[in-house]
Structure 1
Amino acid sequence: MVRRALTSVGPGDGDGGGGGGDEQDHDSRLWHVTLSVSGKPAPLSDVRRGLEQLAHDHPFLLTSRYADDHAEIRYWEEARDLHDAAAVALRLWGEHRSSAQLPPWEIVGLEVIDRATYHQRVAEGYGPPPAHPVGVHPY
């Protein structure tokens, strides 16, 4: 068995899904990620500056909303499956905390949905509307 970082069993592995789909099992997909963080209050200007730097460092960042004690970050992640997209999302805040000078907040929420589910929710009037305008905004 070959082990690789951030991989998991795909839906075609062992479910009788028919035919030499090994290449297909490794195709990446787009996942809509909503990451919520919170903690002790920090100056709004510092929070904004940190989120703007995070947006610069993470090119797929769509939008973020913030207050002095919490923030929500929404973006698209390209990953093989939900497990991979969630793993990247769970590392995002911590890995960029120093470089973007983000507050020492903790992750308090995570939603990862596939592109079709995202668009279905928007079309039905459920869930967040498309992230417009793109960027960093106060609540």
Structure 2
Amino acid sequence: MDAGPDLERPADLGAGDGLTRADGPHRREREAGEDTEPHAGERALSRLWHITLCVSGAEAPLNEVRRGLEQLAHDHPFLLTSRYADDHAEIRYWEEARDLHDAAAVALRLWGEHRSSAKLPPWEIVGLEVIDRETYHQRIAEGYGPPPATPVGVHPF
């Protein structure tokens, strides 16, 4: 998924979320809290949402879980990190969407849509957190959010 014209991706992603907003009139509208619904012929503005998806189910061989999560990371461009055990996993990534409802809908489909192509275990989604970029950074700054996803990749719990 392309990050869209209202976002820029720096060459060096650094330790943060790796994405910075572009300057321009749309940014000033968002910061001022004005209505950002598109006018006739304009594209809806998208935002970044930090997703944490938790799945669980019957035990599966660890090497198969890892391989499936690595394939999912390859298939999903904004995947940051995955942690796994033989009966559960946690996936964290950034999703671009118009609003929280759209981001949550995409997140709830992620596991099922990639289950066969990535050969993921037949686990069910047992948890979902969707927060906006500002909330993510506020939690990090206050010391009670999840640590930044470093190292990026697939790791055991």
Q: Which residue of 1 aligns with 2:45?
A: 27
Cα deviation code 1:12-56 (max 9, x no counterpart): xxxxx8678534882000000000000000000000000000000
C-alpha RMSD of matched pairs (Å): 1.8
Paired amino acid for 2:150: H
Structure 1's 118 and 25: CA in aligned 2 closer, same or farther, altered over 3 A? farther
1:68 aligns with 2:89: no
Supply the distance in 1 between the matched residues of 2:78 and 2:152 (Cα, whole angstroms): 11
1:117 to 114, 132, 135: 135
Instruction: Please state whether the residue corresponding to 1:41 is helix, strand or coil.
Output: coil
- CA distance in structure 2 between the partners assigned to 1:94 and 1:28 by the alignment: 24
Question: Secondary structure in 1 aligned to 2:111?
Answer: helix
Secondary structure of the residue that 1:109 maps to in structure 2?
strand
Give the 3-state SS of the residue equivalent to 2:96 in structure 1.
strand
Identity in percent: 83
CA distance in 2, matches of 1:53, 1:45: 12
Q: Given residue 55 of structure 1, which amino acid in structure 2 is its aligned partner?
A: A
Structure 1 unaligned blocks of 5 or more: 1-16
Aligned partner of 2:38: which letter? D
Larger RCO (CA under 8 A, 6+ residues apart): 1
CA distance in 1, matches of 2:154, 2:106: 21
Equivalent position amino acid for 2:145 in 1: G
Partner residue in 2 for 1:12: none
Go from structure 1 to structure 2 and tell me whether the alpha carbon gap of 1:113 and 1:25 turns closer, same or farther (over 3 Å shift). Answer: farther
Question: AA paired with 1:115?
Answer: R
Q: Is the 8 A contact 2:50 2:136 kept in 1?
A: yes
- Alignment correspondent of 2:108: 90
Amino acid at match of 2:141: A
Query: Take 2:112 and 2:65, find their aligned partners in 1: how far apart are those partners?
Result: 15
SS class of match (1:42): coil
What TM-score do the two structures reach when normalised by structure 1? 0.84
1:132 and 2:150 equivalent?
Answer: yes
Structure 1 residues 19, 99: closer, same or farther in 2, change over 3 A?
closer
What is the rounded CA distance, in whole Å, between the counterparts of 2:91 and 2:35 in structure 1?
39
- In structure 1, the partner of 2:10 is none
User: In the alignment, which residue of structure 2 is the partner of 1:51?
Assistant: 69
* SS of equivalent to 2:119: coil
Structure 1 residue ranges, 4+ long, deviating more than 3 angstroms after superposition = 17-21
